[in-house]
Structure 1
Amino acid sequence: MQLQWLNYHHLLYFWMVAREGSIAAAGRELLVAEPTISGQVKELERFFGEKLFVRSGRRLVLTEMGKVVFDYAGDIFSLGRQMLDTVRQRPTDRPLRLSVGVTDAMPKLVARRLLAPAMHGPPRVELTCHEDTLDKLLVDLSTFRLDLVLSDAPVGGGVKLKSHSHLLGESGVSFFAAPALARRLQGKFPASIADADLLLPTEETALRRALDQWFRSRSLRPRVVASIEDSALLKTFGQAGLGVFPAPTVVEKEVCRQYQVKMVGRTSEVRERFYAVTVDRKLRHPAVVAICDGAKGAFHVAPAATPPR
């Protein structure tokens, strides 16, 4: 019996086109010219003797057989990643590579705390961190450029990527201000910030939506003077005295120390959650396992309170 060998380059190009919805989008992700991708997909169709796509307007839509091949391709590339993870766990003089994506809205002090267990080995780890939006990081995760994405929100159901969001922990929210501003806001919290200038994350973040709902429930109408995507930049604005800003209570001490600010008040009614997003449900990379295991003891949170006068 003659063996038939599947060309996995053809399969990868097909899988990317199916996931991205067009040859042009797949080309941008793979950094490959469109004619090359188109030719590889046609070669795969000839190999199978089946049409895998039909055109619908400007988009390519999977045929029924295309859907079957797409599902198998996802499993094949997932197994390939598991194989790489297994090989990397073999004893070696080289450090274990760990590539992590951190979303813009993810508090960097929380990310540092979550990543610490991986850095304290064994095994010895060489860490690479990338910061971007969740959508862009998920693309790199799906093509195995990243081992893990740290996010303040789980992956939504509408995302095509086969992924799993592992809840690492949650925290209440504290509010901070530069010392001079904090002194002026001393009083019963949260009424003390009712007329304050606020620095908040942007509206598409989970924390901003939760805060807006909490303000409404408390009949608070603070002035939002800036919406800032990057969590570190948000704290830098607060450090400069430009307004009151929120951060997870779990890193309250670190925020006060690093940015020389004072805590104005805290609430447990607003919860910020943190997730590890991976391709596979079962965690195999030893550094990723260490991060998830270490998170279990990293979220001891103080009860809601107003700071002493």
Structure 2
Amino acid sequence: MQLNYKHLHYFWVTAQESSLTRAAERLHVTPQTICSQIQALEERLGVKLLQREGRGLTVTDTGRTVFRYADRIFSLGEEMAEVVRRQVTVEPRHFHVGVTDFLPKLMAYRLLRPLLMLEEPFRIHCHEGGMAQLAAGLAARRLDLVLSDRPLTSESPVRAESRRLGSCGVSFLARGDLVRRHRRGFPRSLDGAPMLMATADAVIRGRLLGWFETLGIHPQVVAEFDDSALMKVFGQAGVGIFCAPTLVEAEICRQHQVEVVGRTREVEECFYAISLTQRSSHPAIQVISQAVLETGAPPE
């Protein structure tokens, strides 16, 4: 037997007020409407729920049982509505983003920062990994976006859109004596200099080696890293010179107490946003893309 919950609600309010008139005022309907709705409910249940007593109404024994159930139903409904209202007004929207190993963490922050400045914020979930792993996360809908130093190749089994967000030159950074020894005469002063490099999988490594070859210089690679953050720690310790996007040069110098050896625009770091085509309209992706479009490069 299916109940009409509107009829049940009218009964519930009338039982609380013990008066058709007061219930009608509370519900903004006529007493006749309430009376007919309660009668329909009584006919549906086959029992009497209310009875006259003097000038008012009282609830029958069966009516008290129905009222207890109605009280639980509508109280729970009000609690649900309040929870939903709190979630709508307070809970941020969730945005899952993958960051490839070789994308500098400060660049990832620069690209995601516009989301943190919105009136209606997003809760950002960051996941780091290799391109293949993160592309699989996109395909499985576990990720909304991947930030990378390279586009997704045509050989990838994942059909996704790679959008170039911007690019910048690179800065060579180091500590103390290394800066003093190699700043003068840059970039030829890098010949034989101790160098910290990304591993062969990083796009920037190939670009750097090509540039060195063009200049005819041969730095001494003393350590290789698949984690740009760890490379900066070694640089801070004075082990060697490392390069980073010029856009985040100031922050790296401040955080790691390093100085600029030199800069070049002949080697570029590029930044891409990769998403499934059907998800490219995600509001968070639109915010990131628009911020880059407006500045022509990842935002300062």
Say if 2:157 is the partner of 1:145.
no
Alpha-carbon offset, residue 282 of structure 1: 6.5
From 155, 175, 179, give the equivalent of 1:158.
155
SS of the aligned residue for 2:120 comes to: coil
- Cα deviation, 1:140-163, whole Å, max 9, x if unaligned, reads 111110010000000011001010
Matched, 1:241 2:238: yes
TM-score by length of structure 1 reads: 0.66
Alignment of 1:130-209 (within 5 A): 130-209=127-206
2 CA distance for matches of 1:213 and 1:192?
Answer: 17
Structure 1: how far apart are the matches of 2:254 and 2:296?
Answer: 18
CA distance in 1 between partners of 2:142 and 2:183 (Å): 48
Quote the RMSD (CA, aligned, Å): 1.8
Paired residue type of 2:144: D
Which residue of 273, 277, 288 maps to 2:274?
Answer: 277
Is the CA contact (8 Å cut-off) linking 2:291 and 2:298 kept in structure 1? no
Asked if the contact 1:118/1:288 (under 8 Å) is kept, the reply is no
Q: 2:125 aligned with 1:121, yes or no?
A: no
User: Which position in structure 2 is the counterpart of 1:226?
Assistant: 223
TM-score (norm. length: structure 2) = 0.68
List runs of 5+ in structure 1 lacking aligned partners: 1-89, 302-309
More helix by share: 2
Structure 2 SS opposite 1:274: strand
Q: Where does 1:77-88 land on structure 2 (aligned, <5 Å)?
A: none
1:70 counterpart residue number: none
2:92 is aligned with 1:95: yes
Q: Is contact 1:102–1:151 with CA below 8 Å preserved after alignment?
A: yes
Distance 2:176 2:141 in 1: 45
Cα distance, 1:91 vs structure 2:
5.5
d(CA) in 2 for partners of 1:177 and 1:298? 29
How far does residue 284 in structure 1 lie from its aligned partner after superposition?
A: 1.7
Amino acid at match of 1:299: A
Deviation of 1:180 (Å) = 2.6
Deviation at 1:186, TM superposition (A): 2.8
- Residue 100 of structure 1 aligns with an amino acid whose one-letter code is V
The verdict on how the C-alpha distance between 1:267 and 1:177 changes in structure 2, with shifts beyond 3 A counting, is same
Range that drifts further, 115-124 or 155-164:
115-124
In structure 1, what is the Cα distance between the partners aligned to 2:223 and 2:284? 37
2:290 matched to 1:289? Answer: no
* 5+ long unaligned stretches in structure 2: 1-86
Query: Identical aligned pairs, as a percentage?
Result: 43
State the aligned residue count.
212
Q: C-alpha distance in 1, partners of 2:124/2:201?
A: 29
Letter in 2 for 1:227: E
Which entry has the higher C-alpha Rg, 1 or 2? Answer: 2
SS in 1 for 2:216: coil
